[in-house]
Amino acid sequence: MEDSNRHKGMRKRLAEKLYQKGIRDENVLSAIQAIPRHFFLDKAFEEHAYEDKAFPIDEHQTISQPYTVAYQTELLQVKKREKILEIGTGSGYQSAVLALLGARLYTIERHELLYSKAKKMFETLGLLGIRSYFRDGYKGLGEFAPFDKILVTAGATEVPPALKKQLKIGGILVIPVGNQAHQKMLKITRLGKFDYQEETLSNFKFVPLLKGKNPQK
Ligand code: SAH
């Protein structure tokens, strides 16, 4: 795969479009400009990689729309060296954005095929610090908790209790919650052991957060 000047030009225009749509975090916009999104798509969609759209990946899942990736990342207010947990690795594109922002990233995927393809892509791109797991992300990653930030990139019907527990005090959890048709983005800040502040933000549409692994093992 190659990353040409033409691709770079299209990425610059994508970043400008995201700015127009309200994304103001310079680090987030630079990460979007740096990462070759066309590497994360099937050949058939490569030409469309820098449109602000979601596309199908394997296992009937999707790579999120760039605006959604930028919006969720901005809400997380990522700082270098922070320990971040992502639920729903999918194509790995969002993971690459977080890694480029300097996060110490842990990412979980419930489909084995997506997990292994994303893992290979991280190696190809030299993102060697990303730790990937084939697990049920509904349960989080207890052995590495607590996390500074947690990001869920699939639509949940409720906030998984394990994820709230695995958040540091002062930490932020960003998760879309709703029904199949649409979800509202929640930004949850842990203020104390039993004290969480919840902000309800815009509407989105994600593929569902499901329980268990596929295949089960
Ligand atoms: N961040 C991804 C978005 C992929 S779509 C990207 O940038 O491409 C959401 C992903 O969440 C899907 O791959 C889906 O398989 C995964 N997912 C759904 N429920 C899950 C769970 N309980 N644990 C881990 N991953 C899950």
pLDDT band per the 50, 70, 90 thresholds, residue 216? confident
Mean pLDDT of the chain, nearest integer: 97
Kindly state whether residue 61 falls inside one of the protein's structural domains: yes
Cα 193 to ligand 1 centroid, rounded to whole Å = 28
pLDDT band per the 50, 70, 90 thresholds, residue 1? confident
Q: How confident is the model over 32-78, as pLDDT tens digits? A: 999 999 999 999 998 999 999 999 999 999 999 999 999 999 999 99
Q: Is the CB of 72 under 6 A from ligand 1?
A: no
Could you tell me the residue range of the domain that residue 91 belongs to?
Answer: 5-204
> What SS3 class is residue 153?
coil
DSSP-derived letter for residue 32 is H
- Quote the distance between the C-alpha of residue 205 and its chain's center: 14
Write the single-letter amino acid at 138.
Y
> Catalytic residue at 202?
no
> What SS3 class is residue 51?
coil
Kindly state whether residue 214 falls inside one of the protein's structural domains: no
- pTM check: above 0.95: yes
Kindly state whether residue 193 falls inside one of the protein's structural domains: yes
Strand duo 183-192 + 167-178: pairing = antiparallel
Specify the pLDDT at position 199. 98
- Specify the number of domains making up the chain: 1
Kindly state whether residue 216 falls inside one of the protein's structural domains: no
Q: How confident is the model over 167-177, as pLDDT tens digits? A: 999 999 999 99
Cα 12 to ligand 1 centroid, rounded to whole Å = 27
Specify the pLDDT at position 186. 98
Kindly state whether residue 150 falls inside one of the protein's structural domains: yes
Percent of the chain with pLDDT over 90: 96
Is the per-residue pLDDT at 217 higher than 80?
A: no
Specify the pLDDT at position 4. 94
Domain with 119 in it: what CATH number?
3.40.50.150
Kindly state whether residue 115 falls inside one of the protein's structural domains: yes
Kindly state whether residue 40 falls inside one of the protein's structural domains: yes
Kindly state whether residue 209 falls inside one of the protein's structural domains: no
Specify the ligand 1 atom closest to the Cα of 154.
9
| Over residues 196-207, mean pLDDT | 98
